[in-house]
Chain A
Amino acid sequence: DGGITQSPKYLFRKEGQNVTLSCEQNLNHDAMYWYRQDPGQGLRLIYYSQIVNDFQKGDIAEGYSVSREKKESFPLTVTSAQKNPTAFYLCASRTGQGSNHPQHFGDGTRLSIL
């Protein structure tokens, strides 16, 4: 999955600060997704976008925001309203709008509170 790049690899957030996680893909995939993974747990969907300039909330969208201005980019902002942001954040993408194409993941960003 070398075509999905997440940066930075590690990120530290101060109290009251917004931080933005980058996700870029060069696979020409239409759909992109953001997941949060807490230690020892499964992945939970934050936001997803099936097409440029459109996105939908996932199961745990509160305290997060996204944009999809370009097909290849889907940045995630962790706002100060997210009181427990420490987690491993994974971006994924998939091809086409038909059903059942697999999602492929980037290497993730590990976010911690200072």
Chain B
Amino acid sequence: GENVEQHPSTLSVQEGDSAVIKCTYSDSASNYFPWYKQELGKRPQLIIDIRSNVGEKKDQRIAVTLNKTAKHFSLHITETQPEDSAVYFCAASRGQAAGNKLTFGGGTRVLVKP
């Protein structure tokens, strides 16, 4: 089955700096890659997603890039703010052929220092 690895497990950045989280996946048939943000004790919330026919997607301060050949995708947060502090999860899916199941990475705890 699919395996998703996420790095780093923790990331500390100064407010205003950029943060980058990287994920690799094993199943070349995966075609959908969402990113979720989870605050302590809360539900994961979708922040951005990308499909395999797109190499990059941006939404304000957040961007995701996908390299299908290398089977990795990354989350970029620019101009970080204290409210960006949370745990971020990447995930991968093979789509309808596999029940649209998501396989999650282990998470990255991001701390933005004021």
Q: Which residues of A contact B (CB under 8 A)?
A: 1, 31, 33, 40-45, 48, 50, 56, 58-59, 90, 94, 97-108
Q: Which 5 A-B pairs have the closest CB atoms?
A: A99-B95, A42-B104, A100-B32, A105-B43, A99-B96
- From the candidates A40, A41, A99, name the one contacting B100 in the complex (CB within 8 A): A99
Q: How far is the CA of A31 from the CA of B102 in the complex (A)?
A: 12
Name the residue of chain A whose CB is nearest to the CB of B2.
A59
Cβ of B110 to closest chain A Cβ, rounded Å: 14
Q: Chain A residues near B101: list those with CB within 8 A.
A: 33, 45, 48, 58
Q: Chain A residues near B49: list those with CB within 8 A.
A: 100, 102
Question: How many residues of chain B get a CB closer than 8 Å to chain A's CBs?
Answer: 26
Q: Chain B residues near A106: list those with CB within 8 A.
A: 43
- The verdict on A99 contacting B32 (CB below 8 Å), with A42-B89, A50-B100 known, is yes
Q: How far is the CA of A14 from the CA of B15 in the complex (A)?
A: 46
- Indicate if the CB atoms of A44 and B104 lie closer than 8 Å: yes
Q: How far is the CA of A101 from the CA of B102 in the complex (A)?
A: 11
- The verdict on A48 contacting B107 (CB below 8 Å), with A43-B44, A59-B1, A107-B42 known, is no
Among B32, B42, B99, B106, max chain A CB count under 10 A is at: B99
Asked if B46 is an interface residue, CB under 8 A from chain A, the answer is yes
Q: How far is the CA of A103 from the CA of B101 in the complex (A)?
A: 9
Those of B86-114 within 8 Å (CB) of chain A: 89, 93, 95-97, 99-107
